[in-house]
Amino acid sequence: MSVILVTGSAGFIGSHLSHRLLARGDQVVGLDNLNPYYDPTLKQARLDRLEALPGYRHARINLEDREAVAALFADVKPQGVVNLAAQAGVRYSLENPAAYVDSNLAGFGNILEGCRAVQTGHLVYASTSSVYGANGNMPFSVHSPVHHPITLYAATKLANESMAHSYAHLFGFPCTGLRFFTVYGPWGRPDMALFKFTDAILKDQPIDVYGEGKMQRDFTFVDDIVEGVIAALDRPAQINPDWDPVVPDPATSGVAPWRIFNIGNSHKVELMRYIEVLEAKLGRKAKLNLMPMQPGDVARTEADITDTRAALDYAPKVLVEEGVSRFVDWYLDYYKDG
């Protein structure tokens, strides 16, 4: 049994991960401030389910509250930390950049300081496929340079990877960054496409389809994401003895126990196909409002998970047909009373 600190535990991925850790016998300390970026009642419902389970304890504090985070680490002394708390959303970063600086930079700095203070056994933290930015090489490889993020959200996540490397080098605790690819599934966020599309179709309202539906995404079901997180958590990053400082590998390090992995499905799906699967499950046709791509969007994403398979024994299982169906079943049950 281990004590695992999960930040963002009332969030979409964090709540699923916390359930999975508790089910295997770990104790989970969750950190989440239930901020109103999206419907706090959904976050509270996730939290209520967790707090009903033995082995879960919650700390309702802000990630950017340095003293509160430090006190939590000193009290809990976690063996492992999974940092999922962040200001999410690519498009929202155009409206409120300060939220990303506060949570994703200052807040992540507080997490690193907490890990340093207690010398935690392993820090696993969420990065994002958005760090690939203007990179056009497909599928996206962790061994490719990522110097051109095109949103502030992506830039903050890329900064997290660099911050973690410096702490892993200076203070010796292992750090693993996971670049998530378009996560979806039950208990998902209302600001994400599948949630918005389902809501609009059931209300007979048009849906905004950016990129005229031609964008391609590596849609990854939340259960597959969680299995990737746990596999990484159980395998602390190590220094790469073959690392060449003359030709440095961006995914590993020769001076720090630090590693980067893609966590994706490795199958790109066109947005229109995603909508067709949803229409079939709902038994209704969507009213499409075809629109151009938005600032910060990329035409396609696809994860190269070669390293993830080899190092973490990672094997995503859920394709969009099953994943969308499971989301809709949850949605209809959760909102069955209106």
Question: Which residues have a catalytic role annotated?
Answer: 153
Residue 272, number of CB atoms within 10 A of its CB: 18
Which structure tokens are listed for 163?
A: 């911050």
Distance CA 81, CA 28 (A): 10
Closest by Cα among 3, 4, 39 to 226: 4
Distance CA 262, CA 19 (A): 22
Q: 216-217 and 269-270 as β-strands: parallel, antiparallel, unpaired?
A: antiparallel
DSSP code string of 117-128 = HHT-SEEEEEEE
Packing angle between helix 193-202 and helix 320-334, nearest 10 degrees? 60
Question: What is the 8-class DSSP label of residue 4?
Answer: E
Q: 175-180 and 258-263 as β-strands: parallel, antiparallel, unpaired?
A: parallel
Is residue 10 within 8 A of residue 42, CB to CB? The reply is no
The single-letter code of the amino acid at 223 is D
Is residue 47 within 8 A of residue 72, CB to CB? The reply is no
Which structure tokens are listed for 94?
A: 């155009």
Is residue 237 within 8 A of residue 176, CB to CB? The reply is yes
Strand partners, 209: 290
